[in-house]
Each structure stands twice: as C-alpha cells, then as structure tokens.
Amino acid sequence: MNIVAVAACTAGIAHTYIAKEKLIKGAKARGHEIKVETQGTIGTENELSREEIGAADVVIVAADIKIGGEERFKGKRIIRVKTETVIKAPIKFIEKVEQSLGVSS
C-alpha cells in the first residue's frame, strides 16, 4: 500500500514529529510505503507533491488541529486520527487502516 500522511499537533513540535516517526515505523513494519508531511511551528516540512498524493492509496491525517492544504486530497480516501493514537500503537493503527481498505500486507 502507498500511504501519504500529514502530522500536526497543537504546539506543532513534539507530538507532530513523534507521530511522523511512529507512522513511518508502523507502515514499514507492515510492508507499506509512506511519506509524511509535518505542519508545525516552523512551517511545513517534507511537503507532499501532487504526484505523491496522486499515487497514494490512502491519506492519513494524524492531527490535533485543522491542517492546511487539505483540498489537495480531494477524491482520496482520508483517514483522520489524533496524534496520540498513532504514537501509542502505530502498528495496530496501520492494521486498522488495512482492514478498512480491505488490504493486507
């Protein structure tokens, strides 16, 4: 599965980057490709390209705030989750994403 994600928290610091790392860990553990954009106090990092979004099977928005640029994902399957969920159980979360899409790794 090809995943793109955006991570953002209220402070835009700690949970944003922890969620990014956990999403990557969970996706890789399940055999998936992933690219994670972060939106925080220092702006947007690792911004997702139009091509990456177009090739994605699913968009994960791991955020505790409203993210910017969500219109880029129009027509894509979007799964929204709090950063805490992916931080606490990244592999279990990715397994749930797989189940919701009818995909196995």
Longest dimension (CA), the chain: 37
Name the amino acid, one letter, at 35. Answer: K
Question: What is the C-alpha to C-alpha distance for residues 103 and 67, in angstroms, rounded to an integer?
Answer: 27
The catalytic residue positions are 9
